[in-house]
Amino acid sequence: MTSMVEVHGLTKIFHHRRGLHAKDEHRAVDDVTFSLDRGRTLAVVGESGAGKSTTARLVLRLIEPDAGTIHFDGTDLLALSSADMRRQRRRMQMIFQDPYSALDPRITIGHSVAEPLKVHFHMNRSDREQIVARLLGRVGLGQHHLERLPSELSGGQLQRVSIARALTVDPLLIVCDEAVAALDVSIRAEVLNLLLDIQEERSVSYLFIAHDLAIVEAFADDVIVMRNGAVVEAGPIGDVFTAPTSVYTKELLAAIPVPDPSQRRGNAPRDEPAVVR
């Protein structure tokens, strides 16, 4: 199994002005290290403000780190020029939480999905249309959706459009930043199953940012738990969820809703790890 992403010592510090002369320092990401193998899913979990989304944006170099290294498919991303980084982004895509804001409301679905083909490959219109129709079909949408505007589709349909758009450049890595958090439960399951099918077909790797640990348990292979910008626990899903070593991880697992309140993870004895059932 080949590592697709290798991150070491990643750090990002934001400075906020306080008054005329003083500045506050906030370590949004603090010495984060992890690896993601080809065809696997690494979940990044933690409460709001833990640094999950900032970590994802650093990996894609949408923002620049203050320290650390990022290797993608053997390439040192931080050593690349802006032009070379643009070429690398053909193989790295992102699916955002809010599908309504991720798509231009003035442009039809067909044009939105085709845009990366035009920008990255300068493909002619006929070829673009064929690929877009095929990709929309792959995510469960028909050709009649091509001429619709985003406002005419449901949230679940729009997230399928976002997936199709990400697939146009045949990426090796897709960052899912709370990609199903805004969807209804039934639609959420459909989108997650679609992502798993695509992963099996294309061996794509997912960096899956989430706060819902029940989804993470079912979807991811490995997990890192973040708190205050730092990694407090990491490992395979089975190990972390059945025998967590961090008190914070135990608290997160205890908060997962379970059908039988008497079996709630928070009721586990203090000296025993919470168990996912």
118 shares a domain with 25: yes
Q: Scanning the structure block, which residue is given the tokens 């985003």? A: 150
**For the chain, how many structural domains are there in total?**
2
For position 259, what pLDDT does the model report? 58
pLDDT digits (tens, 9 = 90+) for 132-152: 999 999 998 988 999 999 999
The reply to whether 132 and 210 lie within a common domain is yes
Share of the chain above pLDDT 90, in %: 61
CA within 13 Å, CB half, 234: 13
- Do 249 and 114 reside in the same domain of the chain? no
Question: Are 41 and 55 within one domain?
Answer: yes
| 82 and 172 in a common domain | yes
Segment 182-202 mean pLDDT: 89
At residue 275, does pLDDT exceed 50?
no
State which H helix or E strand residue 245 sits in: none
Based on the domain organization, do 45 and 62 belong to the same domain? yes
Residues 103 and 52 in one domain: yes
On whether both 202 and 272 belong to a single domain, the answer is no
Q: Are 96 and 163 in contact (CB under 8 A)?
A: no
What domain range includes position 38? 3-242
pLDDT, tens digit, for every residue of 230-253?
999 999 999 999 999 999 999 999
User: 134: helix, coil or strand?
Assistant: helix
Instruction: Report, in angstroms and rounded to the nearest whole number, the Rg of the chain calculated over CA atoms.
Output: 20
Q: Are strands 230-236 and 222-227 parallel, antiparallel or unpaired?
A: antiparallel
Burial (CB count within 10 angstroms: exposed 0-12, middle 13-18, buried 19+), residue 222: buried
Residues 145 and 256 in one domain: no
Alpha helix (H) residue ranges in 81-220: 82-88, 99-102, 109-121, 125-138, 155-167, 185-202, 213-219
pLDDT higher than threshold 50 for residue 276: no
